[in-house]
Amino acid sequence: MKVGVIGCGFIGNELSVFIDRNKEFKLIGLNDIDKDKSDFLIKKLKNNNPKFMSYNELIKKSDLIIESASKDAVEEILKNKNLDENHKYLLIMSTGGLIDNLDLLKQIKNCIIHLPSGAIAGLDAIKAASGRIKYLELTTTKPIKALENSPYVTKNKINLKRLKTQKFIFQGNLKDAIEGFPQNINVAATLFLASKFDDIKVSIIADPFTKLNRHEIICQGDFGRIMAITENMPSKNPKTSYLAVLSAINILKNLKSNVKIGN
């Protein structure tokens, strides 16, 4: 399977190295807004020699496209005609980018799109309960470093470094959470796409003492109650939980597996 990776940051690096070591894949193309990042990644690889490609060339030549760039990249990828016309596979890490492009997503009929569960647990149960959910809440707690320079923090002039204890810095809906914390709250977008529940309550807590990214989900309906808590170690990128990378790798491992676990 020929693979192209869009976005050569931490996640793109980790997934490219995994692909480079796996004989079932061949990494043929890379793209990043900063070409130096893709050039650096190419030098790290031992078995593949991918080329820097435009979005169009990469999508056209790849069987599987991996997006690990940003939510803004998702729209451009979904608009590319080669994606659907040629029955591609697409793995999206920036699930927040789908919320603003649900109409584009609905138009795609032939491309198989994979969304990793990322940094949260419980998505299988929540997918099963979709349509019967009456209440859904996500509370995310993150270290100061993970939240710095987020648009919401900057706009509201929140001085995170002065915090002496954990503090709710955001409480609101899904759309505002994604706009205010685009690099932190992909879990909320994934939760919506699994649940199809429009009224998710999102809270974000800044904690000056924690080193973990913590996500707590409470879901209620006539089926009962689902509670899931995930405490993740951050990756080298403090805004990203390492479990998100492992989740994507697991999708790659299972692409050709004839045993599927979960719904």
Active site (catalytic) residues: 215
Distances (CA, A) of 232 to 119, 120, 144, 214: 7, 9, 15, 6
Give 131: exposed, middle or buried? Use CB within 10 Å, 0-12, 13-18, 19+: exposed
Nearest to 211 by CA among 195, 191, 192, 233: 233
**DSSP line for 115-126:** ---TT-S-HHHH
- Cα 113 from Cα 244, distance rounded (Å): 17
| Residues 12 and 32: beta-carbon distance below 8 Å | yes
Nearest to 207 by CA among 146, 118, 120, 150: 146
- Cα 1 from Cα 87, distance rounded (Å): 13
The tokens describing 87, both together, are 């029955």
